[in-house]
Amino acid sequence: MGIFERMAQEGHQEVVFFYDKSTGLKAIVAIHDTTLGPATGGCRMYPYQTEEEAIEDVMRLSKAMTYKIAAAGENLGGGKCIIWGDPNRDKSEFLFRALGRFIHTFGGRFTTGTDLGTVKEDFVWARQETPYVCALPEEYGGSGDTALITAFGVWHGLKAAAKWRWGNDSLQGRRVAVQGVGKVGYCLLEYLFKDGAHCIISDIVSQNIEAAKEKFPDVTVVEHQWIYDVDCHIFSPNAVGTILNDQTVPRLRCEIIGGAANNQLAEQKYGEMLMERGILYCPDFIINSGGLIQVADELQGFNQERAFRKTADIYHRLLEIFRISKEQNISTHQAALLLAEKRIQAIEALKHIHLP
């Protein structure tokens, strides 16, 4: 499929390629939809095998950002940036300053920050060339780490799911299988333990497990390949994406799924499969939107209390999605997409009112 055909099919407005000979920078920015406002989305740095793989990733992720932002109630559009390179080998001050100059050419139409393979400090370099970067360290005027607020949002989402499934939003005595206890998963454990949950954890990084055991000695540890088989009330994916697939869904022994990992469904059909199995799925782009809410708040002058208050609304947003799912007999993933599309269409309809 050609690039223009793909853009037409997925609804993208722009796909821009950047190359800088002096630094070796190869970057792509995809802007999906700006109905709600200027686009924003993280910058991922990854050693893609092919150009086609890089294009597919940036287009898929930018479209997902449109829905995530719309569902979160923010007035921004969906976009994404990728750098084709090895984050362990190819980073330099000059590469990110070159990226900053390219980002500046959008004139505020697109803003970016950290994602897989990049860290806040990378964008301190980019910030020297453009104001259109966010999620900077606090000492540089940014809002700092998003892990805590993301975990806060996931916790509120799980409480909403508990309320819908069991009639009470307390997690007291509930068994929660937490896949991945890195930044967000580690923070989530604190909320879960305070709420009285019993946590079973796994991670492919042994240091993450040791850190979690030191802080939370009551956790139960299982090998990462067996986390799908744990008999639990809630399965919480907080690591890699596409983990809900043909191999894993049949193994699950839970009633609720909700976590911070992106793109948890390998394909949309697995949302229907979970529904058929009676598992209540919290759509990832809804329950993990706390970090996005913090970054969006940073763009207007960060207020921590306001950002956490808006993140707590994930609770009510999920209850609305569960209601739509039940009434229309569709998966919760489809219901979440419907909610996002409805908001985009409503804002678009307002544009018939001419402003002076």
Q: Which residues are known to be catalytic? A: 80
Helix H or strand E segment including 26: strand 25-33
**Chain center to CA of 260:** 7
d(CA 149, CA 155): 10
Closest listed residue to residue 28, CA positions, set 60, 54, 64: 54
d(CA 299, CA 133): 9
Report DSSP state, residue 146.
Answer: -
If DSSP states are collapsed to H, E and C, what string results for 203-265?
CCCHHHHHHHHHHCCCCEECCHHHHHHCECCEEEECCCCCCECCCCHHHCECCEECCCCCCCE
d(CA 295, CA 87): 22
